[in-house]
Structure 1
Amino acid sequence: MKPEEANQLLQPGYLPFEAGYQRLDNGILLVAARSSLLNVKGYMIDWWFSYVHTTEQYKQWHPQDHVFSDWIGERGTGRYIGGTHIAYERLGGETVHRLKINFLPPSELLDTGRFAAAGVSTAIHARLGEAGAPGWTAKMVHFVRDTPYGCEMRSRFWLGCFAENNLLNDYETRVRIYPDETGKGLQQHCHEEMSILGQFLPELYRAHHP
């Protein structure tokens, strides 16, 4: 599934590829993860992305992999779209990746008019790049459907979507910048951090919404 095919997530049930990583025919490295979060609803996920800011808060999300956190843009108002998260983190290894994550409207990737019929409670859409470097190198979405037990999050990362820099969107460049081992580490990291989030988010949300 390429970014322009992301509306496949709106289909009932599940797709053949829901977890792992694979190299697409254009060189993009697609990473997929699926997490079940007990007693967590989509509105809590949406709130979390408008809340997390400090390094202390970020480390709670993944104490081992998360190293540093800051935010560029509006904060503390419940709005995060348009803002940029500066995140230093490990992705299943020892290397610390210095990332910038710019949040975008879900409608730029998905047909939000179909969300209600598809049971979608929220979708977190962003583009990613290296902090301090020009442009962007990847895209991502966390696609959330509420369930009787809480919610499920189906995450997709497209590594190798180069924009506003001098990187070529060709097969060779994408493989060089994002080798397969990056996909393996990211898939592991995403599943771990979302599993951890599910453990503390319900109580944290209630503390801020008595």
Structure 2
Amino acid sequence: MKPEEANQLLQPGYLPFEAGYQRLDNGILLVAARSSLINVKGHMIDWWFSYVHTTEQYKQWHPEDHVYSDWIGERGTGNYIGGTHIAHERLGGDTVHKLKINFRPPAELLAIEHFAAAGVSTAVHARLGEDGAPGWTAKMVHLVRDTPYGCEMRSRFWLGCFADNHLQNDYDTRVRIYPDEVGIGLQKHCHEEMSILGQFLPELYKSQHG
């Protein structure tokens, strides 16, 4: 599934590929993860992305992999779209990746008018790049469907979507910048951090909202 095919996520049930990584025919490295979060609803996920800011908060999300956090743009208002998260983190290995994550309207990727029919409670969409470097190198989405037990999050990362920089959107460049081992580490990291989030988010949300 390429980024322009992301509306496949709005189909009922599940797709054949829901977890792991695969190399697409254009060289993009697609990473997928699925997480079940108990007693967490989509609106709480949406709130979390508008809340997390400091390094201390970010480390709570994944004490081992998360190293540093800051935010550029509007904060503390419940709105995170348009803002940029500066996130230094490990992705399943020893290397610390210094990332900038710019949150974008979900409508840029998905047909949001079909969310209700698809049971989607929220979607978090962003483009990613290297902190301090020009442009962007990847896209991501966390699609959330509420369930009787809480919610499920289906995550997709498209590594190798180059924009506003000197990198060419060709097969060889994408493989060079994002080798397969990045997919292995990212899938592991995403599953771990969302599992950890599910452990503390219900109580944190309650403490903030009464």
TM normalised by structure 1 equals 1.00
Question: Are residues 1:167 and 2:164 paired?
Answer: no
SS at match of 2:114: helix
Q: Among all aligned residue pairs of Structure 1 and Structure 2, give the percentage whose two residues are the same amino acid.
A: 87
Runs of 4+ aligned structure 1 residues displaced above 3 Å come to none
What is the 5 A alignment of 1:88-99?
88-99=88-99
In structure 2, the gaps of 5 or more residues are none
Cα shift readout 1:146-198 (whole Å, capped 9, x = no counterpart):
00000000000000000000000000000000000000000000000000000
Check if 1:148 corresponds to 2:151.
no
Structure 1 residue runs of 5 or longer lacking an equivalent are: none
Q: CA deviation at 1:122?
A: 0.1
Are 2:192 and 1:192 aligned?
yes
Which AA in structure 1 matches 2:67?
V
Match of 2:78? 78
Alpha-carbon distance in 1 for matches of 2:29, 2:146: 28
- Local SS of the residue matching 1:110: coil
Question: What is the Cα-based RMSD across aligned positions, in Å?
Answer: 0.2
Deviation for aligned residue 1:119? 0.4
SS in structure 2 at match of 1:197: helix
Q: Distance in 2 between matches of 1:107 and 1:136?
A: 19
- Describe the SS at the equivalent of 2:67: strand
Paired residues, what number?
Answer: 210
1:58 offset after TM fit, Å?
Answer: 0.1
Structure 2 counterpart SS, 1:204: helix
User: Corresponding residue for 2:26?
Assistant: 26
Instruction: Give the structure 1 partner of residue 68 of structure 2.
Output: 68
- 2: distance between equivalents of 1:122 and 1:100? 22
SS of the residue corresponding to residue 124 of structure 1 reads strand
Q: Report the equivalent of 1:14.
A: 14
Partner of 2:109: 109
Aligned to 2:119: 119
Which residue of 2 is the match for residue 55 of structure 1? 55
Give the distance between the partners of 1:137 and 1:157, measured in 2 at CA: 11
Query: Alpha-carbon deviations, 1:93-115, whole Å to 9, x = none?
Result: 00000000000000000000000
Partner letter of residue 169 of structure 1? N
Q: Distance in 2 between matches of 1:171 and 1:103?
A: 26
Shift of 1:50: 0.0
The equivalent residue for 1:38 is 38
Q: Distance in 1 between matches of 2:128 and 2:180?
A: 18
